[in-house]
Structure 1
Amino acid sequence: MLIINGKIFTMTGKPVDCGYIRTEGKVITEVGTMSSLDKRQKGEEVLDVDGAWVLPGLIEAHAHIGISEEKWGAIGDDCNELTNPVTPALRAIDAVNAMDPAFHDAIKAGITSVMTGPGSSNVVGGQFVFMKTQGRCVDNMAILNPAAMKAALGENPKTTYGEQGNCPATRMGEAALLRRTLLEAVQYQKDKERGRLDREDFEKEPWMPVLQRVIPMKVHAHRADDILTAIRIAKEFNIDITIDHGTEAHLIVDEVKASGFPVIVGTDLTSRSKLEVQNMNFKTNKILAEAGVLIAVTTDHPVALIQYLPLCAGLAVKEGLPMEEGLKAITINPAKICRVEQRVGSLEAGKDADIAIFTGNPMEVFTKTLYTIIDGEIIYNGMKDEENSEFVPGGSRKDAQKTAAGENE
């Protein structure tokens, strides 16, 4: 495919006012100015976008898409295993339903990949997966699995288990439980390295990539004291974390900056439904970014719907975050935070051909998605009336055509 005459935001430098992108198969092969385009290749599909904004596919860094399904209520909600506060062996990939209609909404909004996983009712919730939004088989959609280990501090675990008369009933209990779990994992790692194990432990093996700093621990923390506890424990055990939500991170910006850990901010597009989110404000993004903290914006779908991700970034820009930083917060920044920047998040030769094309700035409410391209294939065509589109949840346009012709099941 050859995309021409676009305003291209590579996310690696200044925008190209009139440029082109060439793809081959599933990857980008060239990005440049129209004046540097030599010639069109034989058989190449040409997409003239006539001045439209061309961005890397947008990325949601923290969601529960496919796990908390929109249409099915409790039957489709596999987000929290409420039988044990420590469940590291749970794998999001075993719960994601690729047929969740929220994937269609994401694609229509130009979102091409997501980090999805367990909720925050447990102190340790299980393993996240980073995946594309297009497909029917989650195994084929996954880019990184496991991608992170979920942990949670604050109101959610203490109310879930404290109301049952179980631990944790306090923030002290949460921290103690997380420390004990990590300490046991460290001892298991030492025993394994010294050949003292008769067999692998199903509950402790998932901690190995965390202790080796291959993947981060993804910590749900809203309040300032919970954020500081997360940082404290991470330093004690020499592990990497991401601070997810970080509602009061702007109140302790110096400490967050000094930690070196990134913050996935939000969602601020919701009500102040809990005490720990009373200081929720889109200005958090600006304050952290100005301090040099690496940030991404999240909807925490389904807390706010995933298709509003670019609007959340826009509201952060409205509150002072520079426009370029707003675009980075939904493209290259989440790619870096989720450790997949070698595949997605920017428009560069060799990266996945995940491209979103808009009528203008995607952070503005009236902007429409013209095309969403995943792995070099046009998955959503906004130029067609949605009622007549060939989109099938979890499938491609080719799949839809075959289904209509009765060639598929």
Structure 2
Amino acid sequence: MNQISWTDAEGQAVSALWRSERGTPPPKRVVLADDSTSADTAYRLACEGTALLWCGDFHNARQLLQALMRRLDKVSPAKGAKAAKAAKDAAKDAAVAPSPTEAFHRHRQAQAQRARVLGALLLPFAADYSIPLRRAPDVRQACIEAWGEGGAVASVASLRDLLGMTGAHEWRKKGVEVPALGAAPHNRIHPYYGVFSPLRGEYLGLVARAPLPKTGQVPYVAFDIGTGTGVLAAVLIRRQIDHVMATDQDPRALACAQDNLTRLGLAAQVSVQNADLFPEGRASLVVCNPPWLPARPSSPIERAVYDEESRMLLGYLNGLAAHLLPKGEGWLILSDLAEHLGLRSRDALLAAIAQAGLQVVGRLDAKPQHPKATDPSDPLHAARMAEVTSLWRLRVLKP
């Protein structure tokens, strides 16, 4: 267990359990901060790598976090003009603008720096997950959902992590409406903290309308690889597939999928299993929606977005032939955002499909509808504008 240590107001050495959803080690330097700590001081300390353990009013801690966000977002006119001139000179010298790949890596570096600074504002938690600060809300249920029931000792975590957990708690309570599951009110998915939420509906629509392969299998079985919330398994059952075997390795995802399928009345038709990609046996249909960007996740919570060295994608493709019935299909759900960012080429994807002994028998496409796709202030706007999400229909290549 990681421990975080600091010196309290009486000069006594204190330690507590360190919790970090980003998987970062406990900070080496910790100072106490309260309502008298200025935003400028807090920002300077956070940028230097010093964590601030908050001892004041809870609402003032939230205001301080917002002040840190503003300082990260702010660029003074002088600095802005200087940066613009430097960028113009560099572009003139190189005769080319930064590549999409360079823009992506710069964006990730900026995100990492932002996470480090904002993650420096820490909160104390009692053994029962209550927060011993003035005007602190009751966040115990949100903490239980994220950390489990075992709050036997005092701990410390960042305010940013707490806000993420409380936000996820609200999403979990009200759920996300999924039109591909049918009419309300029986079409809601309740995502758990740390499990990818099905807010992007275009890929769900593709699964809802792609033609099912005809194999003659009775009962008709499908596999859902990396089930997450269980939403794709639910969509497949709504399409009258007899049974779905849904796999994942994340304990939160397994619990989330089981809960959602129970809520929807589909638990008897879906087997949720802890497995590395494939369950045993063969199916008429094997569906997989791997992380879309082949980059290294900087935290466990990013694993739903980044697939380092395309491990899940390649694992799915290379194992598919061994788990398909004759005339069965594998459905690969993948955005081409990585192609527009220069992280993976279309030729590389097609080569991986061919090397796995598979052939493409069809493809359905959809344009994303999420807000970032039309936000010109987004650093990756050009790539997002061009993005297409596809459902690739794959079959085993005949010898």
What TM-score comes out, normalization by structure 1 length? 0.25
The structure richer in helix per residue is 2
What TM-score comes out, normalization by structure 2 length? 0.26
Look at both structures and tell me which one has the larger radius of gyration over its CA atoms.
2
Relative contact order higher in (CA < 8 Å, ≥ 6 apart): 1
